[in-house]
Structure 1
């Protein structure tokens, strides 16, 4: 399971997308980007972050450390923004924290090169989890100490919003024409040969085991959190063997425009 730490201080809202994450300090003296259970996207965003983040780490990708953050809503009483105060009030209990990478820079294809093997690994992984949120417009990647880090997987595994249709997702293609790394001639075949054999049911079971029960309880159509976990394992494992055959890359490379940096990297975000 995820390590559990209590939130000590709410620092600042990070106005990135619609979820309104916040930068917090915890009792372990570390800083985290916290995603709230009370946000509009709901708890499934947090489930996706944990499952995909744990799976990414098991496959050797760099992903910020994940923890379960225990939030006492009283911490938000001094927050002047009523939207933020309402979000904190609605999110008492277990939330998700991602270790804050101080000094990290948003991935910029004009300043940072990625070799075809690494690009292929990332594209293949995103195809497996059906990540629709790593485009050149919003790469959701950071460069920290010279290395590439993957962040923000909350929009992945779209099938878990409609479990009855989940089995059909095993055969669906993945459109990588807008992917942030499409311009680097990703070697999908090499990535599949390396990574697919490693994504076993046991590896997937370990990844989903880290999701707190409270985020899986009362899921329609399931009688227990463990039953939901099995559904994640079965759906992901069904995609592994042949997903590389259904990745659609653009002809002639992707658009060359610069991506935008995550909101928490903008000047003043850490104050």
Structure 2
């Protein structure tokens, strides 16, 4: 599920987001977005990316393939930016890589329509994982080859920053009024019926087992990485059964018309002011 790739070439920093990820090439010749273990958010961001990214893929959501990226800091010696150099120096070893979707465009709810079924699956998944970073301000959604793809799950499962609160997190409501897909009438009830039964303890154990042990080592209050993995699985399993009952959506609004998901057609060009339609065509 999570392959190991050796970073062979550092291409450029991606100056988006607070973690300042980088674009690298792996020894499989594929391009990856590299999430640094030495970034300010720390290794828990990478843990969240792995668990939520792999779980999303298992549930049929479009998440770019993930890999552990082994980085040799010398790859970035030619990088002139001192901040990036510091990230490279502090991130030797195992980092996270997300396949780079070349040519993808950022999601714009005014230009791309999402049908209620797909919107419901994404909102339900974000509620399950407690994603606080899928608002209209920062959708963390891409459109690639006409389909919607989910990226950047570092701001999920925020209970792992305070493990004593994790048990209460299983029953925490999810406010989706600011969610970027809220205007599309997300059908969270249908999403829960389809997806919740698939979030079994066995699946969660398989997903959490993919997290590198070194990212889970020395976690306060736990005897070892396996105990931390079990804690993640327990909260997600408990949350899956009924989280749809605690999702707050805004009052129904006006979604872009039409069925299915995809780009909206451009608006019809109005006739030139002061000219009849036939005169406009003649021009």
TM-score range, shorter chain: over 0.9
Q: Displacement, 1:242?
A: 0.9
CA distance in 2 between counterparts of 1:223 and 1:78 reads 41
Cα distance in 1 for residues equivalent to 2:218 and 2:212: 13
- Compute the displacement of 1:2 (Å): 2.1
SS at match of 1:78: coil
> Per-residue deviation at 1:6?
1.0
The Cα of 1:253 is off from its aligned counterpart by 3.6
The whole-number CA distance in structure 1 between the counterparts of 2:48 and 2:200 is 18
Query: Which runs of no fewer than 5 residues in structure 2 stay unpaired?
Result: 257-283
CA-atom RMSD in angstroms: 1.3
Does the residue aligned with 1:15 lie in a helix, a strand or coil? coil
Q: In the alignment, what sits opposite 1:92?
A: 92
After superposition, give the CA deviation of every residue in 1:153-211 in whole Å (9 maximum; x if it has no partner). 00000000011110001111001011010000011111111111111001111111111
The equivalent of 1:195 in structure 2 is: 195
Which residue number in structure 1 is paired with residue 9 of structure 2? Answer: 9
Given that residues 185 and 255 in structure 2 are in contact (C-alpha distance below 8 angstroms), is that contact kept between their aligned partners in structure 1? no
Is 1:54 aligned with 2:50? no
- After TM superposition, what 4+ stretches of structure 1 lie above 6 angstroms from structure 2? none
Task: After TM superposition, give the deviation of residue 118 of structure 1 in Å.
Answer: 0.7
Q: Contact between 2:184 and 2:255, CA under 8 Å: does it hold in 1?
A: no
Residue in structure 1 matched with residue 148 of structure 2 by the alignment: 148
Aligned to 1:169: 169
Structure possessing the higher radius of gyration over alpha carbons: 2
Whether the 8 Å CA contact 1:182–1:254 is kept in 2: the answer is: no
Rate the CA distance shift 1:255–1:84 in 2: closer, same or farther, 3 A: farther
Following TM superposition, by how much is the alpha carbon of 1:9 offset from its aligned partner in structure 2, in angstroms? 1.0
Deviations for 1:205-259, whole angstroms, at most 9, x for unmatched residues? 1111111111001111111111100000001111111100100011244999xxx
1:147 is displaced (CA, Å) by: 0.8
200 and 18 in structure 1: CA distance in 2 versus 1, 3 angstrom threshold: same
Using structure 2 for the length normalisation, give the TM-score: 0.88
Higher RCO structure (Cα 8 Å, ≥6 apart):
1
TM-score by length of 1: 0.92
Given that 2:185 and 2:252 are in contact with CA atoms closer than 8 Å, whether structure 1 keeps it comes out as no
Aligned residues: 256
Q: Following TM superposition, by how much is the alpha carbon of 1:90 offset from its aligned partner in structure 2, in angstroms? A: 0.3
Aligned to 1:110: 110
| Structure 1 gap segments, 5+ residues each | 257-271
Partner of 2:184: 184
CA distance in structure 1 between the partners assigned to 2:24 and 2:191 by the alignment: 36
